[in-house]
Amino acid sequence: MRTYTRPTASQISAAAVSGRRHYHEKVLDHYSRPRNVGSMPKTDTDVGTGLVGAPACGDVMKLQIRVDPTNNTISDVKFKTFGCGSAIASSSYMTELVRGMTLEEASRVRNTDIAKELCLPPVKLHCSMLAEDAIKSAISNYYTKNPSAQTTDLGGTGASIPKIDVETVVEPTASQATTA
């Protein structure tokens, strides 16, 4: 039985120099030393869990937030990601970014913020999209468990969804059209 050892940052850098993919040092840092790895009891009412995946590449990300109900701030955050280095780095960076934020602030984090900070290439943007989807899913899960909590616009715009009146139009059938 073979055991797998995660490569060090210097080994990854050496591979990048040899002509393979070149990852920015921020990605290498979060990949080799990921922050806030772990999980929380998903049954706790103050914990929101987001589980998202990318079928195209097989990356799966679980992000959990613990919310202080007195001020709707994220007091703790954990993640587990099964995927490439960019997906792990995006998850790790997201946990650092949203800790201490209100749910409203965290819902406004965009994948472009993550991609820009980590200098992700265009082919890895889906990793930052997973992180954005994961935080929104975790916030949504928290609100599902706590329906009386002050809700957040998960679209991130702060605008409410407009009410649209719908008019029902009935088209005449062929038999009705010929009798008229």
Clarify whether 84 is annotated catalytic.
Answer: no
- Between CA 90 and CA 15 the distance in angstroms is 21
> What value does the mean pLDDT of the chain take?
81
pLDDT band at 163 (very low <50, low <70, confident <90, very high): very low
**What residue type is assigned to position 55 of the chain?**
P
Prediction pTM value: 0.72
Can 127 be counted among the known catalytic residues? Answer: yes
Helix (H) or strand (E) holding 142, with range, is: helix 125-145
Amino acid symbol at 83: G
Task: Show me where the domains of the chain are located.
Answer: 23-146
Tell me which of 127, 129, 135, 138 is the catalytic residue. Answer: 127
The catalytic residue among 37, 40, 51, 57 is: 57
Token digits for 31?
């990949």
Record the tokens describing residue 150, joined without a space: 């002050």
pLDDT tens for 24-37 read 788 788 888 999 99
Q: What does the block give as tokens for 132?
A: 């954005």
Give the separation between CA 98 and CA 66, rounded to whole angstroms. Answer: 11
Spatial distance between the Cα atoms of 64 and 59, rounded to a whole number of angstroms? 17
Q: Provide the β-strand partners of residue 132.
A: none
The CATH class of the 23-146 domain is: alpha beta
Whether pLDDT at 105 is above 90: yes
